[in-house]
């Protein structure tokens, strides 16, 4: 109990210190608007990649439709904040987007999550494309392929930071709960998990719904700082971007996902002038990781401060 309290207080200190450093850098002008946007982009990538890793790394499924749920959150916020251009409207639109994404994920997940491997990837990709095509043909509501512009800047870096911290904590608690352990058991061996009484469909669908909600939140934050919602921003390549982060960091590692998102976000900043080569460089980096680190940068390892406290206790 005392060790857990020390660990939690240490993590709280790390979070507060990180927030304080970012606050100092932004208030002093050392981080300009361009770099603040990079920080917000990294935060949104962390949320999306965590959701992707939740499905791929922890439940053993292969999703390619996260961009579709991101589009749901983005367009829900873009549409609702037009009639309610306040922060209250922004957060209400985020809740509505989460609800819509959860319902669609539930309706889609029950039949499709019975599939495996490539079949599931194709099914989720199809769902994502259906969502995007519906948006394109949404008439005056979504403004078609031109998208919706003039969205107020509701998203700031402190907002993104808070959502990253909260969603990461909630995801870790979910994975450590009895349901989370059931999800991991399904990843390891479905037949063995089912023989032990695990409801495989329930575990898969619940994880899929949680990831869809995270993607919807990321979409709302994304459109809140970008100021526009355009269908071309939510294609297959968007899903692959976050899939790369999850694989690069390590499937089944929350810490690895965060490290990879930060590393690729910084790399992407230096590749702005050669944007056409970005995916080539990403692919080469991914190939090198798969050759030398098949499990990703961290594999399934996590940064656990409890180890340091345990080591200190043993030395004393």
Tokens read off for 132:
């995007």
- Name the 3-class secondary structure at 41: helix
CA-based nearest residue to 42, from 286, 283, 233, 259: 259
- Residue 229 pairs in a beta bridge with 148
Query: Tokens 């998990």 correspond to what residue?
Result: 193
**Domain coordinates in residue numbering, the chain:** 1-31, 38-243
Integer Cα distance of 33 and 9 in angstroms: 32
The three-state secondary structure class of 60 is coil
Q: For residues 304 and 268, give the distance between their C-alpha atoms in angstroms, rounded to a whole number.
A: 28
Crossing angle for the helix pair 157-176 and 2-27, to the nearest 10 degrees = 160
Tell me what pLDDT residue 33 has.
85
pLDDT value, residue 22: 92
| Tally of CA atoms within 13 A in the half-sphere of 126 that contains its CB | 9
Note the pLDDT of residue 120.
79
Query: How would you write the pLDDT of the chain (316 residues) with one tens digit per residue?
Result: 555 667 778 778 889 999 999 999 998 888 888 889 999 999 999 999 999 999 988 888 888 889 999 999 999 999 999 988 899 999 999 999 999 999 999 998 888 777 776 777 888 888 899 999 999 998 888 988 889 998 888 999 999 999 999 999 999 999 989 888 988 888 888 888 888 888 888 888 899 999 999 999 999 999 998 889 999 999 888 888 898 888 888 888 898 899 999 988 888 887 777 766 777 777 787 788 777 777 777 777 777 655 555 554 544 4
What is d(CA 214, CA 150) in angstroms, rounded to the nearest whole number? 24
The answer to whether the beta carbons of residues 81 and 72 sit under 8 Å apart is no
CA distance 236 to 231: 11
* Cα 5 from chain centre: 28
Q: Evaluate whether 68 touches 135 at the Cβ level (below 8 Å).
A: no
pLDDT in the model for residue 315 = 47
């Amino acid at each position: 109990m005392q060790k857990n309290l020390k660990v939690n207080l240490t993590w709280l200190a790390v979070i507060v210190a990180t927030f304080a450093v970012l606050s100092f850098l932004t208030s002093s002008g050392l981080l300009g608007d361009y770099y603040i946007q990079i920080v917000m982009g990294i935060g949104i990538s962390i949320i999306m990649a965590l959701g992707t890793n939740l499905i791929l790394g922890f439940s053993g499924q292969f999703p390619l439709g996260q961009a579709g749920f991101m589009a749901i959150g983005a367009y829900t916020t873009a549409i609702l904040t037009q009639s309610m251009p306040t922060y209250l409207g922004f957060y209400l639109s985020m809740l509505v987007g989460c609800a819509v994404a959860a319902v669609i994920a539930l309706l889609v997940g029950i039949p499709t999550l019975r599939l495996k491997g490539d079949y599931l990837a194709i099914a989720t990709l199809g769902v994502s494309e259906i969502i995007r095509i519906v948006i394109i043909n949404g008439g005056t509501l979504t403004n078609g392929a031109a998208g919706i512009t003039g969205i107020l800047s509701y998203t700031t870096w402190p907002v993104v930071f808070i959502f990253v911290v909260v969603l990461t904590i909630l995801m870790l608690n979910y994975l450590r709960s009895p349901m989370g352990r059931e999800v991991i058991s399904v990843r390891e061996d479905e037949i063995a998990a089912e023989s032990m009484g695990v409801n495989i469909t329930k575990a898969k669908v619940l994880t899929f719904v949680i990831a869809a909600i995270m993607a919807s939140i990321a979409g709302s934050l994304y459109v809140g700082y970008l100021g526009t919602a355009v269908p071309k921003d939510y294609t297959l390549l968007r899903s692959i971007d976050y899939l790369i982060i999850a694989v690069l960091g390590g499937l089944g590692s929350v810490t690895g996902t965060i490290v990879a998102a930060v590393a690729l976000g910084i790399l992407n900043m230096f590749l702005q002038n050669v944007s056409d080569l970005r995916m080539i460089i990403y692919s080469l980096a991914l190939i090198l990781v798969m050759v030398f680190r098949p499990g990703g940068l961290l594999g399934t390892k996590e940064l656990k401060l409890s180890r340091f406290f345990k080591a200190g206790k043993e030395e004393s």
